[in-house]
Amino acid sequence: MTLKLEYVHVDFGSKRYVDPPISGAVTRDVRLTDDIVRAGVNVRFNWDRPVVTKY
């Protein structure tokens, strides 16, 4: 059995958006980032037998 753990940080930068001037111009700076953590378990069965391909 093996365990795995992975951490990923993604950064897509920032963007400035301007809303239509309905009651004045409104701007927004939006930054898109995310932090992802993944975990997994691998289990292998039949350790004592060799891997044989059958056709």
The tokens describing 33, both together, are: 């980032």
pLDDT digits (tens, 9 = 90+) for 5-50: 999 999 999 988 887 766 667 788 889 999 999 999 998 887 677 7
pLDDT interval class at 4 (50, 70, 90): very high
In a domain, 12, yes or no: yes
- For the chain, the distance separating the N- and C-terminal CA atoms, rounded to the nearest angstrom, is 29
Q: How many domains does the chain have?
A: 1
What global pTM score does this model have?
Answer: 0.52
Asked whether residue 47 is assigned to any structural domain, the reply reads no
In a domain, 38, yes or no: yes
On whether residue 54 sits in a domain, the answer given is no
Domain-embedded: residue 49: no
Which structural domain range is residue 27 located in? 2-42
The answer to whether residue 29 sits within a structural domain is: yes
- In-domain check, residue 11: yes
